[in-house]
Structure 1
């Protein structure tokens, strides 16, 4: 017996606007577990076209490296979502403005995945309900792990884990005294290569060390920012990755020597400092400018508390009802 064909696709002409924050994963000791949403955003407009049509427009830094065909990660995520809920993929017109730098440890691929899923959610609003659990599951299946996609979807500080029911998350509010600054170099580091540098086994002592620091980091980020320096120490991944990013390692070490809670942002090579006040961020920026020959772009950011959003889009009226996650 032949299976039923997928239900009709979204109505051609329907368009949605999507906004997704950058993220920083790990935060030092929380390897593959902790993530933080940051106030740096990729923005997209996605319109449903007749089936089989595809138009992709990309602007912003690194736009020339982004595919304009069906291999585009946002397009792939849209298609994945439609297939998952049994709907035919419509044609797509995608217009993207890139702000999150690619290959710098700020969750650019996770943001693209989340953007595609939220676009599908918006295009199918009123037909299919994409709840938080479904969004997180689909995003994790595409990205491979939930530590970046969870904060991109939900905002704030997230703890992500896997159990027999799939990926799970808990969102926490960050203490208002925490002031992030990210130092972004011109060089890139593919996440795949960075992950290959981490060992498959660690000593019991190192494991216990990171368990204690991860627990302390939750307290520092939510209640006691004065503990951030001690809480961001790590023995599971940063020292192993340092060999591939000597300038990043030098900056992290020097900042920490001066009392700043500096860590590798995601897989690097960007450096995240979790300062305990805006003034301390400026001190960190002055220090970063003198440490290595690498030019570091200092991004003074806030913690994003909303996560990814999607809304209906028209040229005439850009503020209709929201379908935010």
Structure 2
């Protein structure tokens, strides 16, 4: 599968937050090559094209428009085209790109492995889809049910200006945003949760660097059969049984949850907080917005796309 003795990877946009995170994680993996463009030729299209033709996989850590341009350049290479993993929003709902959430369903990891092009999920949709898709598939939540997704993230997910504002102490301690209800993560959240009714999504940011909570409140008596919280938890547990990175955690009577416990990991925890007497529940996903929400998920997908575990075992 590799063009050389070891699979080679080029991170296009490696100086950004996600690119740096991916590079740091990949540097810890044996049996791969990381390739870069000479800094003096960073904006030279021919230099980029030549490097793309010489590697096995390119990670796109670029703004959407630039990601589309880079994807077109890769496609123009024909048989020399590398596999692409796009960390931008540009291709997440494109039917010609595999969606890079391996835990989506039993067939998704194989789909990612076979794909030429894979779109890395957004941080917020990772938590929302992880909670909703199994419950819609199980018939516990109708596809047309009115859904609200609330979420809070550390400021590292907001880009250069937001990071600088918080680190300079000029940004607020907490704020809601995306209140025009047109957040760019909504299309993938709806599509891969298989919702036919557009959900309401309310993101927010807190004055801490990284870590995320995604929560979805439910009135259980508006769902078919008025399920108990334990039934929702059981359906999630069945879906993620055996998963390496996604775990369903019993609430054990806890009534608080903080967002930073999984920082610097690719793990995600799912919980169902319920009050059956009130017929209410809150689904909660906890993850690192820079881990399973970005760079960690990217490296998980890279390993699948390049069959790195098998390759590394053979090399050993």
TM-score class normalised by the smaller sequence: under 0.3
Q: Relative contact order: is structure 1 or structure 2 higher (C-alpha 8 Å, sep ≥ 6)? A: 1
Q: TM-score, normalised by structure 2?
A: 0.27
Q: TM-score, normalised by structure 1?
A: 0.27
